[in-house]
Structure 1
Amino acid sequence: MHKLAPLTPLGSAFPRIESIGDLTISEVTDRALASVAARKDQEPALRAALAEAYEMELPEVGGSSQAGALSVFWTGPDQWMVSGPYDQNELLARDLKQVAGATASVVEQTDGWCRFDVAGAVLSDLFERLSNAPVRDMKPGCVIRGTLEHLGVFLWRLDEDRMAVLGPRSSAASLHHALITAARSIA
């Protein structure tokens, strides 16, 4: 019989947390993810279904919102990413699909992405070295789809001194290396 064990995107049994100067870079592995895309002419019905089931407001361009333990952020026209604690939402995509019905296409995304939370007072200095995103102007809740180094990512401002970076799981080591290298350059 196989004895399989889950690994983090960086290939470890436990998420990696690194402190460099004033910055802390944490690998986040306890979040379930699902993408939701409204089908043609179904956005109002999708909004109504999610509002009724979860009291969830789908954010507009560049925004995010909270609905209890769930978070949702805009990813494209009529598209959003929903995130929640994995231990409570292991079947998040299935649950969202049941609520959305024929109004949306819902796809499991948990193992397709990696997430690093970066915290510290010099957060903007770090991201200005890695991306052309206007991080100093981002308010908490803002989300930008862009690049970090050469990787396509979502930059999600969680708080004044905290940013989540979501990128392809297959590029987790490259993304982590870029974050660590830039952090060391300003430490």
Structure 2
Amino acid sequence: MTLSENPDLALASVTARADHTTACRTHMIALLGSDAPAPGKASFKNDSEFAFWTGPDQWMIAAPFKTHEDLAARLKSRFFETSSITEQTDAWACFDLRGEGIEPVMELLCTINIRAMQTGDAARTVIHHLGCFVIRMAPASNLRILGPRASAGSLHHAILTAMTSAL
């Protein structure tokens, strides 16, 4: 099992504005090539671009930072007045947990039912007193954990401690 920070991730939040939900969802379909993610779900455009549900009519969009440093600006020019879009890249630290045995590690860290999560599932949870998102990537032995960047050191320590305890 490996734990690595993924600094090459651009993030932007998309929230449908009042009376523009349908138009915002239409833009999401054009962007993703599929419907906007439902609650508890993520949609993958390809191996490196994806979106996940964060709240009613709210999503987080992720893409490689190297090619999408201006992700929020690109989305604003695409969604127009249908959505409020905010830059999120510097707000979140991203950790990728890969390999067999991630279930017992996650069971020590949070209360989500990790054994029931399938590829494309996303959950909001608390890890080490920090609000985090956990996304089951492909293959299913890969997890992406997003937590507050200001507490990245604490989150990293908590994950490493759980790995040591569980393995």
TM-score when normalising by structure 1: 0.84
Q: How does 1:103-142 map to 2 (within 5 A)?
A: 103-142=82-121
Query: For residues 159 and 31 of structure 2, what CA distance do their matches in structure 1 show?
Result: 38
Percent identity between matched residues is 41
Query: Does the aligned pair in 2 maintain the 1:50–1:99 contact within 8 Å?
Result: no
2:12 paired residue among 34, 39, 44: 34
Query: For residues 151 and 48 of structure 1, what CA distance do their matches in structure 2 show?
Result: 33
Query: Relative to total residues, which structure has the larger helix share, 1 or 2?
Result: 2
Query: For residues 88 and 110 of structure 1, what CA distance do their matches in structure 2 show?
Result: 13
Aligned to 2:149: 169
Q: Alpha-carbon deviations, 1:29-80, whole Å to 9, x = none?
A: 0010000000112111012123335535311101111224421000011100
Give the count of matched residue pairs: 165
> What is the DSSP-based 3-state SS (H/G/I as helix, E as strand, rest coil) of the residue aligned with 1:139?
coil
TM-score when normalising by structure 2: 0.94
Aligned to 1:181: 161
Q: Alpha-carbon deviations, 1:141-171, whole Å to 9, x = none?
A: 1000010121110011113211111000001
Query: For residues 113 and 155 of structure 2, what CA distance do their matches in structure 1 show?
Result: 19
Query: For residues 51 and 161 of structure 2, what CA distance do their matches in structure 1 show?
Result: 30
Q: Alpha-carbon deviations, 1:108-138, whole Å to 9, x = none?
A: 0001100100012110000000101110000
Query: For residues 54 and 157 of structure 1, what CA distance do their matches in structure 2 show?
Result: 18
Query: For residues 135 and 54 of structure 1, what CA distance do their matches in structure 2 show?
Result: 26
Q: Alpha-carbon deviations, 1:73-104, whole Å to 9, x = none?
A: 00011100000011111110000011111100
Query: Does the aligned pair in 2 maintain the 1:72–1:83 contact within 8 Å?
Result: yes
Gaps of 5+ in 2: none
Gaps of 5+ in 1: 1-22
Query: For residues 123 and 107 of structure 2, what CA distance do their matches in structure 1 show?
Result: 14
The residue type paired with residue 167 of structure 1 is: G
Change (3 A) 1:102 1:144: same
Moved over 4 A (4+): none
